[in-house]
Structure 1
């Protein structure tokens, strides 16, 4: 799952954004929640609740607004983004079934090992004319190790823990807040500009997630009192 999921998803996405506008890539890649909901419904017979469908619609609307004016890209890059999105949807569903059979730490460990093996295979084969530049000093390795721990391992552990509790459909909707957080980090740490469209888009996404949380909590409370 790590090799076929994390490696292929991230690798195809990184290849795409070299020749495609990032805004377009974000909009297209975040089509994956729709895929997750549809597959869960068609294959696993888990019909999405009205709350999830409505929240997903407003979240995706917010993402489109947030990314602003979308520029074009090559057909091959667009295809790579869509492949990445579809692969991530299937990966998320596969992880859901896997984590149901193993404990959290074991699942995270083996999935990350699989992802590492996948990238070592890419380094060994160097497809698409790629080259590898390894760090030449100790400080660079420390930075890479820190980013790997706090930027990959820890987030995966938290997301898998959430996945076991709320399921793939709910998690896929919640993850739509990621572009909003990325923009916020850019404003705070990179002095990027705050625009009206970004504020409106972020409001759509955050509002949809808050509404989803409140509505789902009410539904659970109603079921408990029945």
Structure 2
């Protein structure tokens, strides 16, 4: 009895810490933009600073699975790394140039509903009445939250919201497509290799379009980038994986609603972003809809 209780307690702590650390990323990105760094260079710093750790993990886990991994599996891994960690991150970083960190997290938070919709469209999985209602509720909540931003920043808020929505779509596509591949590699090995692929894509992108002035920024930029790479990417990825292992995906999903809430609070403290009553209402509606979706997926 004691061991079970202790395991659950540790899982809860890991879940809360992992979600809080992940949610702080948007705030750090906005802080870095205050030093006039472009999105591509900032994304490069984030990926490169985390790369040595993922290379070490990939090397350590290279023989961890007895299942035969074929060439086509690595090709699929490359595709999912490109889609889920490079493209989704790129859309996210660009979108954050135009909208607030709190709104970004709320829009990204709808990805479970996109997973359900993609599964319905491409894999013909039946969409239940409960799921349809949950999706409707979620997008009403996003609309309410977004409505409060219209007119405050001109048309740029539309562009930012659309880019963040694309980030949610690409990340959801990664989740839907990679589900069958992760058991072959194992969670740690797959994630580490996907991050290596993503870093490669970012480096290639930077070599083509980057400004090459990577040593000309204030020391604060490198500090923020390092914190983002270690504390908002590397560490929470393992905390969340461990939490899911100890609690189960269904229980873990309950804590997912902490993400948008913590981002909005952190943005209010560090970025002085305005929090309106309408946004709070919209956020609660989004959380309710996603909670219904997450619960339904596990049943």
- Alignment TM-score, normalising by the size of structure 2: 0.54
Output the CA distance in 1 between the equivalents of 2:164 and 2:135. Answer: 20
Tell me: CA distance 1:101–1:50, structure 2 relative to 1, closer, same or farther (3 Å).
farther
Structure 2 unpaired stretches of 5+: 1-79
Give the alignment's TM-score, normalised by structure 1.
0.67
2:150 to 47, 52, 70: 70
Which whole-Å CA distance do the structure 2 matches of 1:138 and 1:25 have between them? 26
* Structure 2 equivalent of residue 36 of structure 1: 115
Q: Which among 175, 195, 198 is matched to residue 112 of structure 1? A: 195
Q: Is 1:207 aligned with 2:207?
A: no
Aligned to 1:96: 179
C-alpha spacing 1:176/1:87, structure 2 compared with 1 (3 Å): farther
Does the aligned pair in 2 maintain the 1:29–1:82 contact within 8 Å?
yes
Question: 1: distance between equivalents of 2:283 and 2:107?
Answer: 17
- Conserved 8 A contact 2:114-2:169: yes
Partner of 2:170: 87
Aligned to 2:124: 45
Q: Once the two structures are superposed, what CA deviation does each residue of 1:20-74 show, in whole Å capped at 9, x if it has no partner?
A: 5559877876675554222212322322444433333222222222232325249
Say whether the 8 Å CA contact 2:142–2:283 is kept in structure 1.
Answer: yes
Deviation at 1:145, TM superposition (A): 2.6
Aligned to 1:152: 233
**Whose relative contact order is higher, 1 or 2, with alpha carbons under 8 Å and at least 6 apart?**
2
1:30, 1:60 within 8 Å by CA — same for their partners in 2?
no
Shift of 1:166: 4.7
Give distance in 2, aligned partners of 1:195 and 1:78: 18
Deviation track 1:60-95 (CA, whole Å, cap 9, x = no partner) reads: 222222232325249987875565444333222123
Q: Aligned in 2, Cα 1:117/1:73: closer, same or farther, shift over 3 Å? A: same
Distance 1:76 1:192 in 2: 19
Counterpart position of 2:134: 55
C-alpha RMSD of the superposition = 4.1
- The aligned counterpart of 1:2 is 81
